[in-house]
Amino acid sequence: MSLARPPAEAASAATPLLSAVAVTRTYGRGDSAFHALRGVDLDIHRGESVAIVGKSGSGKSTLMHLLALLDRPTSGAVMVEGRDAARLRPREINALRNATFGFVFQQFFLTAGQTVFENVSLPLVIAGVSRRERRERTMAALDALGIADKAKNRAVDLSGGQKQRVVIARALVAEPSVIFADEPTGNLDSATGAQVEDILFGLQRDRGITLVVVTHDHELAARCGRAVTIADGEIVSAGSGVGAEVAR
């Protein structure tokens, strides 16, 4: 499946990059079942920055996990450029996710004992990229984040802000079409968090990357092109801005 970027002038008329169609997600059965999502419809177009906001337990992270193909809906469909992800084989989903999605999480998920270089190059190792190309692309990603001098440092020895830069470099190294960021500044102080936000929105602006941010921080959400508010597993507001007209 190709996710090559179309010309900017055609993006608004194109098929949505990602869609949730009548998506539900239920955990458990019977009286003890928890309905995390209840019939959610959402379109996300290429190049958008979209915040998914809501209180803890509202379903915002569950929705992101479904859009990112990290989980499957109980019912409904997740579409990638108009194609139902349920029709993809597990190997195809893994390849698509590794090649076109980047992830930035609050918890970092770095391997503490490995070097910065090893952590950032992991998606390329999984993709089978040659050693020479891995080095070139990994160092380019580290340089873009201003941490090329940390390539040989162990992840455990970095500050919180440095770790988040490493996470963003890892998300960037495979040249993704979409970056999913789940509470990306939640573990950072205000000044460092603002720097991380500037990096993410700079990538979205300068490289045309689609940015999907899950957050309860309304100031961070306000920086996105639109905010989608979710409560009790349902979208209660699709926000405004680029692409708002296509959010059901």
CATH code assigned at 147: 3.40.50.300
Could you say which DSSP state residue 46 is in? T
SS3 content of the chain, % helix, strand, coil (to 5): 40, 25, 35
pLDDT at 8: 43
> Under a CB-based contact definition with an 8 Å cutoff, are residues 195 and 168 in contact?
no
- Residue 187, domain member (yes or no): yes
Total number of domains in the chain: 1
- Is residue 120 situated within a structural domain? yes
Secondary structure of 122-187 in the HEC alphabet? HHHHHCCCCHHHHHHHHHHHHHHCCCHHHCCCEHHHCCHHHHHHHHHHHHHCCCCCEEEEECCCCC
* pLDDT value for 95: 87
7 found inside a domain: no
Could you give the count of Cα atoms lying within 13 Å of 83 in the half-sphere of its Cβ? Answer: 13
183 torsion bin: left (phi>0), alpha (psi -120 to 50), beta (else) = left
In a domain, 224, yes or no: yes
State which residues form the domain around 88: 15-246
> Does some domain include residue 1?
no
Query: Which of these, 56, 150, 177, 214, lies nearest to 167 by C-alpha position?
Result: 150
* All residues at 6 or more sequence positions from 207 whose CB lies less than 8 Å from its CB, including other chains: none
Q: Is residue 148 part of a domain?
A: yes
Is 169 a domain residue?
yes
6 within a domain of the structure (yes/no) = no
User: What integer pLDDT is reported at residue 6 of this predicted model?
Assistant: 45
User: CA 100 to CA 103: how far, in whole Å?
Assistant: 10
Per-residue pLDDT of the chain (248 residues; tens, 9 = 90+): 444 444 444 444 578 999 999 999 999 988 889 999 999 999 999 999 999 999 988 999 999 999 999 999 999 999 999 999 999 999 999 888 888 899 988 788 899 999 999 999 999 998 899 999 999 999 999 998 889 999 999 999 999 889 989 999 999 898 899 999 998 888 788 888 888 899 899 989 988 999 999 998 888 999 999 999 999 999 998 875 443 333 33
Residue 11's pLDDT is 43
